[in-house]
A and B are shown apart, each in its own frame.
Chain A
Amino acid sequence: MEALSNLVGNINGIVWGPAMLILILGVGFFLQVGMKFMPILKLGTGFKLLFKGREATGEGQISPFNALMTSLSATIGTGNIAGVATAVFLGGPGALFWMWMTALVGMATKYAEAVLAVKYREQDELGNFVGGPMYYIKNGLDKKWYFLAPLFAGFGAIAAFGIGNGVQANGVAAVMETTFSIPTYATGIILMVLTAAVILGGISRIGSVAGKLVPFMAIAYIIAGLLVLLINIGTLGSAVSLVFTHAFTPSAAEGGFAGAAVWMAIRFGVARGVFSNEAGLGSAPIAHAAASTAGPVNQGLIAMLGTFIDTIIVCSITGLAIIASGAWTSGESGAALTSLAFETSLPGIGAYLIAISLSIFAFTTILGWSFYGEKCVGFFFGAKALMPYRVLWIIAIYFGATADLGFIWLLADTLNAMMAIPNLIALALLSPMVFKLTREFFASNGATEGSTLAD
């Protein structure tokens, strides 16, 4: 275990080095500039589309509102609660600033991913739409780049066990133990049974109930978070200034906080930011490809809202609550740190709210990622490999729930970087197509996809 930890640690140091950070932020920034900051400027249009789309839905079509809710249920996970806390614990308050940066450029990345996923999707043997990085590499790029497709699908299938399974189960188990004194193995078994009921037993109802709960839990979490900020209104100003100053200057050790160099703030801010909003990872486009949508740009506009809501709204609330309440110097990490921040400000309900919302977020994320993993495996072996993969998926939950937090995050981080690399290269190579579709869509006021934009 020790040797394995060291090995993963070494690989992690390489894949999360400066080159990777430049790749993530650079590709996102390049896409933003190429689209003349459309994703940020058209944020309002995106939201308008979202609410207009609640009634106006064509035949056999999912409303954009539902489409966003479904993609959010996989995106909002432990990253928003435990991940932010880990970033602040390891990287200091400045990490939050770098998380915002991943979201600002990540909106363009996510937009491009969804546009390409819909543009280059295929139909599988059952007539369902399949897409995602492996398909836009295969169908959109020259043959000499084809090797990126199996590379992505291979790393994706393995990485899913980290970000989409182990970390989530671990987060739930940890928070259940601290809040309700439920032993981690018990949480592990309960999660296994519930997940098995959905993905092996086909009891979709459990999953769809959990999926419907996500928006409500997210709203409850946001309201509670705003309350925490309101209670700590006196220190909120200095918390915000801490975020900005320590983004560029090292933060000194304080209480249980070990101090962090600027590099640590960037490294953990970006890593956790990407972990949370998944922009650049290439996971979300797999779900976006399944949507029956008016067209690529429509889906892209909805997809980028996911990044905005996830990071700029939900993660900021968590991060600011941790900093403003002073909990960040306590020496706690992960969900326990967020729990502490909420509990000190809202005694009696704070910790419970965190425990319940984290559990629901994590559960839907485990279900959502099982689909991403399956599609990656399916890229190689077709539908026949699904059953063994699902069984492995369920077994992994138990190990995720009972393993050591630090190692699980390290492993997940490493695998995430490895699946992001082929995807980001493909995004850069396919960017002319994204720019072209975007230009045509807005020049024709949405007519290229049979809709009109009222702005």
Chain B
Amino acid sequence: MATKILLPIDHTDDQSWKKALPVALEQAKFYGAELEVISVIPEIILLPNLPANYGAGAKDHVTGVLRQILDSNGAKDTTVHVEEGSVYREILKFAHAGGFDMIIMASAKGDFPNYEIGPNLARVVRNAHCSVMIIRA
């Protein structure tokens, strides 16, 4: 049972949504749950030799890319959130604060018997307050 599902996506990696997005949409439909998407970008660090507005448009840029992915894959009404910082920490924080009760996340590509669970996914699985569904790539 789920009422709010969170799907973390990396906008530079197709593998993070190609299989996971259809599954997430299916699950949301099945439970009648709400589906939201999160993407975490590295923190923009302003160094003294960079212009003061460096990286100011990053969130909008990533939101735009994600919107395009979602719109063209049948997820037009899905809300997109872009956070800055450490990937797993931001996912966990956001899932907890937003009262999500399921996280759906794609794994990296691996081969039997070593299915690759990356460091971010591993930490999300280990520390999430809710169920985590892993979609094998």
Chain A interfacial positions (CB closer than 8 Å to B): 60, 62, 66-67, 70-71, 73-74, 123, 125-128, 198-199, 202, 204, 207-208, 210-211, 214, 287, 290-292, 364, 367-368, 370-371, 382-383, 386
CB pair B51–A290 under 8 Å, yes or no, is yes
Which bracket fits the contact residues of B? 20 to 34
CB pair A204–B51 under 8 Å, yes or no, is no
Given A60-B57, A74-B48, 6 additional A-B pairs, CB 8 A: A70-B50, A127-B62, A202-B85, A214-B48, A290-B50, A290-B54
CB pair A202–B43 under 8 Å, yes or no, is yes
Q: What's the least CB distance linking B127 to chain A, in Å? A: 20
Q: Do A383 and B42 contact each other (CB < 8 Å), given the known contacts A126-B62, A127-B58, A128-B55?
A: yes
Q: What's the least CB distance linking A65 to chain B, in Å? A: 11
Q: Do A62 and B53 contact each other (CB < 8 Å), given the known contacts A211-B48, A367-B47?
A: yes
Cα–Cα, bound, A368→B51 (Å): 12
CB pair A127–B57 under 8 Å, yes or no, is yes
Cα–Cα, bound, A211→B11 (Å): 33
Cα–Cα, bound, A123→B11 (Å): 14
Within 8 A of A (CB), among B42-72: 42-58, 60-62
Cα–Cα, bound, A292→B11 (Å): 24
Q: Name the contact of A67 in the complex, choosing from B51, B61, B62 (C-beta under 8 A).
A: B51
Task: Mark interface residues in B58-91 (1 if CB within 8 Å of A CB, else 0).
Answer: 1011100000000000000000000001000000
CB pair A208–B51 under 8 Å, yes or no, is no
CB pair A202–B47 under 8 Å, yes or no, is no
Cα–Cα, bound, A243→B7 (Å): 68
In the assembled complex, which residues on chain B have CB atoms less than 8 Å from the CB atom of A211?
47-49
Q: Is B114 part of the binding interface, using a Cβ–Cβ cutoff of 8 Å? A: no
CB pair B58–A128 under 8 Å, yes or no, is yes
In the assembled complex, which residues on chain A have CB atoms less than 8 Å from the CB atom of B48?
70, 73-74, 207-208, 210-211, 214, 364, 367-368
Q: Which residue of B lies closest to A369 (CB)?
A: B49
Q: Name the contact of A126 in the complex, choosing from B47, B49, B52, B58 (C-beta under 8 A).
A: B58
Q: Is B41 part of the binding interface, using a Cβ–Cβ cutoff of 8 Å? A: yes
CB pair A66–B46 under 8 Å, yes or no, is no
Q: Which residue of B lies closest to A211 (CB)?
A: B48
Q: Do A125 and B51 contact each other (CB < 8 Å), given the known contacts A199-B45, A207-B46?
A: no
CB pair B51–A126 under 8 Å, yes or no, is no
Cα–Cα, bound, A342→B90 (Å): 52
Within 8 A of A (CB), among B2-49: 11-12, 41-49
Q: What's the least CB distance linking A77 to chain B, in Å? A: 11
Cα–Cα, bound, A349→B41 (Å): 47
Q: Which residue of B lies closest to A129 (CB)?
A: B54
CB pair B12–A202 under 8 Å, yes or no, is no
Cα–Cα, bound, A71→B54 (Å): 13
Q: Name the contact of B54 in the complex, choosing from A74, A123, A128 (C-beta under 8 A).
A: A128
Task: Mark interface residues in B80-121 (1 if CB within 8 Å of A CB, else 0).
Answer: 000001000000000000000000000000000000000000
Q: Name the contact of A127 in the complex, choosing from B46, B53, B61 (C-beta under 8 A).
A: B61
Q: Which residue of A lies closest to B56 (CB)?
A: A60
Q: Name the contact of A204 in the complex, choosing from B46, B56, B60 (C-beta under 8 A).
A: B46
Q: Which residue of A lies closest to B60 (CB)?
A: A127
* Residue from A62, A70, A126, A199 having most chain B Cβ neighbours under 10 A: A126
9 contacts between A and B (CB under 8 A): A62-B53, A67-B51, A73-B48, A74-B49, A204-B46, A204-B47, A208-B52, A364-B48, A368-B48
Cα–Cα, bound, A66→B46 (Å): 14
CB pair A368–B49 under 8 Å, yes or no, is yes
Q: Which residue of B lies closest to A387 (CB)?
A: B42
